[in-house]
Structure 1
Amino acid sequence: MRLAKRSIAVLACALLALGACKPDTAPQAQVPGPPDGPAATVIHLAQRLGQDDLAGFARDAVPAADYATFARAWSQDLSRWPLSELPLPERIVPMLATLSANDAERQLGMDYDRQLAGQTQDLRNAAQTLGLFATQYVRNQGDFTPAQRKHLAQVIPALSSWAQDAPLADAPRAHTALRELVAAARATGIDSDLDLREAGMEASLRRLDPFLATFVKVLDDYGLSLHESLAQLVTGAVTIEGDVATVQVRYPLAGKPITLTVTLRRQAGHWYVADYMDRAEALRKRMEQTPSAPDPDQAPAEPAPAEDKVALLLRAVARGHWA
């Protein structure tokens, strides 16, 4: 597959991830510690992301023991949470490597000019077709819960509509975006999975924060104003049964109203995202069965088959339960 096609696909996945999961705001005061109420917890986690604080988000989204579990699993290449919440998480490192490569800005710029510059109608048609295909896939296929299907049924048309109107064929804008993304990718110092493993979970997240912030800026330059999504995010009805709570959440995405339900669980007086806690428990059981760290020279796992990648992407977007 040609370099341009690879890089375009990777960038599209990252844009979709950020659009669905990571609204941004202008700099704010330091976010206080985790609140006690379930609705306040949802808002607090969104604020962590709004400050580009992935490490803080990870600490506050789960109890301390679960955070330690995720960090240990990260060092053993068993987990890349919370990066795994992004669509096609196995493409994050290759994307950084592509953007960090020698002469990346010039080469990617040439590929863009040759294949996409000025192709407004073709890009609009592609965005429309992808939106229709994804909608049908979610409706009829894939391993989704009813709540995930409901969420995706809102997110996909919103992003498809935005992409159809976005100035994706504007060459000067694209070259500016590439220049910013290349610089931000190189600043992370991450272009391999070994870099993530050696840095550890928290340090890796902190190194990635500025890169993700740059992506948010690029999205804003293309008309997807995620700071408005966060500023207008509100919680609705809250149902509490024992130590389990569900919170109704509403936020705008590309001018379209999105609603979803968040499930949280109380532990030691604080509320945490139930899905993340369940995954931490599953990781603990897995590590008990395979306690030894992997061989550093062992080849990384093969990426998911092509036919499974759509399901991975859509399922990850559907899991954007906190914002």
Structure 2
Amino acid sequence: MRSRSLRRTLLPLLAALVLAACHNKDEATQVGGSTPEAAVQGSIDLLKTGDFNGLWKHALPAADYATLRTDWSRHNANRPPVSATDKARFNAAVQKLTGPDAETKLYAEVRPKLDQMQQQYKDQLPVLVAMGGAFLKNNVAQNQTLDSEQKAQADSLVDVLTPWAQQAPWFDQARAKQAVGVLVATARKLDLKSPDQLRSMDFDTAMTQYASGYAGLKQALAIYGLSVDDALASTRLSTVSNQNGRAVVKIDYTLLGKPLSAETTLVQQDGRWYSESLVDNVRKAHEQLQQPATTGSVSAH
């Protein structure tokens, strides 16, 4: 009797959990979110996996996503060609990072420099980092595109990262060797042949490269004690406001053991919710791309 009663209790619960898990998975693969919180959670889930193509597709209405893809290759069209000097520097850097036995050679070059820097900057590092934090806060204060809430959030983030940067074992040889290994592995995975390749990269290729670079960056930061994955896993969402097709969602998370929060605004379109800032950025970038052509056509007349 107890076994039958237990099954009656557990089976509906398990079914509900499975349905919830499937629902959350579906949210991350759909365009937009069914609710503001679902939209944000979907973006966080995609960021966890480093799926930048999926992230853009989820956070933007279909028309804006299509605009982003179309405009991608146009951003560098009017930039001057890469100079021979810059090409030579790029090739030398790539060769150093991807050549035979690159890990051993690069670490042999870094090791004495670390010893030198430790002797020279160990006592000064906390002061230098504090100065850097103050500089960042000043830039945030002067930024005209951030509102007061965003500036407060940025200041809180700097307040958490500054003590970490002051105390992180930057001069530790074992960690440096690990970091060099991550850097070399990431460079080889990116497989960049020339700076021109960076400019001619299509959207899908660029997103794949971003994912590789992001994975390498997370590994490197984790070596020095900062886990991006832990911060993403700690997120908790709550809706601050939701009216007239515009909602604000609060994101509470933990970074380096410290509680932090941020707010993000979403807009509703055709029953789905999208990131307001990403939509605005894509549309403004598109308008700027149209401007040279408009100016040229006017001046031609």
Q: SS of 1:238's equivalent?
A: strand
* Larger RCO (alpha carbons 8 Å, 6+ apart): 1
Change (3 A) 1:172 1:116: farther
- Which residue does 1:50 correspond to in 2? 48
Q: SS of 2:50's equivalent?
A: coil
In structure 2, stretches of 5+ residues that fail to align are 1-23, 78-85, 98-102, 295-301
Change (3 A) 1:284 1:132: closer
- Which residue does 1:234 correspond to in 2? 236
- Which residue does 2:153 correspond to in 1? 151
In 2, distance between residues paired with 1:29 and 1:97? 40
In 2, distance between residues paired with 1:45 and 1:219? 22
Per the TM alignment, residue 97 of structure 1 is displaced from its structure 2 partner at its CA by 4.8
Change (3 A) 1:127 1:192: farther
- Which residue does 2:245 correspond to in 1? 243
- Which residue does 1:275 correspond to in 2? 277
- Which residue does 2:189 correspond to in 1? 187
In 1, distance between residues paired with 2:229 and 2:50? 12
Q: Is the 8 A contact 1:184 1:211 kept in 2?
A: yes
Per the TM alignment, residue 291 of structure 1 is displaced from its structure 2 partner at its CA by 4.9
Per the TM alignment, residue 190 of structure 1 is displaced from its structure 2 partner at its CA by 3.1
Q: CA RMSD in A?
A: 3.0
Q: Which structure carries more helix by proportion?
A: 2
Corresponding pairs, count? 250
Structure 2 residue 117 is the aligned partner of structure 1 residue 116:
yes
Q: Is the 8 A contact 2:53 2:204 kept in 1?
A: yes
- Which residue does 1:36 correspond to in 2? 34
Change (3 A) 1:284 1:210: closer
Per the TM alignment, residue 163 of structure 1 is displaced from its structure 2 partner at its CA by 0.9
Q: 2:96 aligns with which of 86, 89, 103?
A: 103
1:297-308 equivalence runs, <5 A: none
Per the TM alignment, residue 50 of structure 1 is displaced from its structure 2 partner at its CA by 0.2
Per the TM alignment, residue 169 of structure 1 is displaced from its structure 2 partner at its CA by 1.0
Q: Is the 8 A contact 1:75 1:200 kept in 2?
A: yes
In 1, distance between residues paired with 2:35 and 2:238? 13
Q: Is the 8 A contact 1:216 1:226 kept in 2?
A: yes
Q: Is the 8 A contact 2:44 2:232 kept in 1?
A: yes
- Which residue does 1:216 correspond to in 2? 218
Change (3 A) 1:278 1:35: closer
In 2, distance between residues paired with 1:131 and 1:191? 36
In 1, distance between residues paired with 2:204 and 2:169? 36
Query: What's the TM-score once normalised by structure 2's chain length?
Result: 0.73
Q: SS of 1:77's equivalent?
A: coil
Instruction: Give CA deviations for 1:68-114 in whole Å, capped at 9, x if unaligned.
Output: 211222101269xxxxxxxxxxxxx99x9589522245357524632
In 1, distance between residues paired with 2:178 and 2:38? 38
Per the TM alignment, residue 247 of structure 1 is displaced from its structure 2 partner at its CA by 0.9
State which structure, 1 or 2, has the greater radius of gyration over its C-alpha atoms: 2
Change (3 A) 1:110 1:57: same
